[in-house]
Amino acid sequence: MDFLNFSEVDSLSFAVIGDPIAHSLSPAIHMQFAAQCDVTMRYKKWRLAADEFDQEVRRFFSVGGAGLNVTMPHKGAAHRLCAQLSDRATHAGAVNTLYLKDNEIHGDNTDGFGLIADLERLGWSIAGQHMLMIGAGGAVRGVLQGLIEKAPKQITIINRTMSKAKELCFVFSDLAAAHNVRLDCQNLDLSANNFELVINATSAGLDGEAPALNPSLVEAARCYDMFYAAKPTPFLTWAAKAGARSVADGLGMLVGQAAESFFIWHGVRPEILPVLNELRASLMKQT
Ligand code: NDP
């Protein structure tokens, strides 16, 4: 049984909440971490509508549930619900990991950790790089603190809705200044060819599309798509044709953010690579 059965919730119970949730790979990832680290736990999918989120999450912890991951569209609601937030969850304005401590619901955000761990695995530097971030939604907000703290030379944010990019520049301006990072925002029709590391954080891939961009942006750049799929994503296919130096999708980020949640809950750091390899192989089988 893949889905949470409330009558079975106890101190070994973990779940991922989203809507939709049937597609989630989180149970497979966490159960592989558990086997690797000899941890006894159960991890289920839990579909919740927005209007039941607060009440059901509180109920889960009140009957002894151990921890929750939160995905679209509930990361903002999870942030509002928490009595205590980590520094990175505060910056992100979004929470993807919940747990109970001293009888209070605590929230953290591990997306930035997951992205940075995957860029490190790929051997793609962040420090001193000219970075382009495409998109200005929750995922970008979640990763900006971690990226800025790695001291790239520049982060330019472009987004279809310019006001959202401007807001992110405003929110992160002090942190960027403290790390000597030039943070600016531009329109989606920007033309420039000085970017070394380009990250697509739009949800266009969900509709089978790449965002409409000037090819000069990715010329000779390393291109990362937070979106992942069994086949090369629309953005990565487009970037490779436009002359990108190398491309990678967000499956590694997904496993990396899960590893950090696992560490928060169990105090043990699982190995990311074997789980990533296993997931990639099973995704390939579906094509
Ligand atoms: P949001 O809904 O918060 O933001 C979506 C962003 O995509 C906005 O900036 C939006 O622009 C932009 N966008 C959507 N469609 C288009 C389009 N056709 N052309 C240009 N821009 C477009 O989503 P998230 O930030 O939470 O997620 C973004 C992506 O990152 C998703 O694909 C998600 O699956 C992925 N992700 C992956 C993770 C991983 O672990 N690998 C973790 C978290 C997210 P506008 O503001 O104008 O609407």
Comparing CA positions, the residue from 157, 156, 153, 155 lying closest to residue 180 is 153
C-beta of 209 in contact with ligand 1 (< 6 A): yes
Q: What share of the chain is helix, strand, coil (3-state, %, to 5)?
A: 45, 20, 35
- pLDDT recorded at residue 206: 87
| Alpha-carbon dihedral angle through residues 44, 50, 54, 57, given to the nearest 10 degrees | 0
Segment 29-78, tens digit of pLDDT: 999 999 999 999 999 999 999 999 999 999 999 999 999 999 999 999 99
- pLDDT recorded at residue 193: 85
- Counting atoms of ligand 1 from 1, which one is nearest the CA of 160? 47
Give how far the C-alpha of residue 69 lies from the chain's centroid of Cα atoms, to the nearest Å.
12
Q: From the candidates 44, 45, 75, 150, which is the catalytic residue?
A: 75
C-beta of 137 in contact with ligand 1 (< 6 A): yes
Segment 142-197, tens digit of pLDDT: 999 999 999 999 999 999 999 999 999 999 999 999 999 999 999 999 999 899 99
Q: What are phi and psi of 112, to 5 degrees?
A: -65, -40
> Across residues 201-225, what is the average pLDDT?
96
Which helix (H) or strand (E) segment holds residue 102: the answer is: none
* Active-site residue, 164 included: no
In the chain the first and final C-alpha atoms are separated, in Å, by 25
- Counting atoms of ligand 1 from 1, which one is nearest the CA of 227? 32
d(CA 116, CA 126) in angstroms, rounded, equals 9
C-beta of 250 in contact with ligand 1 (< 6 A): yes
Between CA 130 and CA 268, with CA 228 as vertex, the angle to 5 degrees is: 85
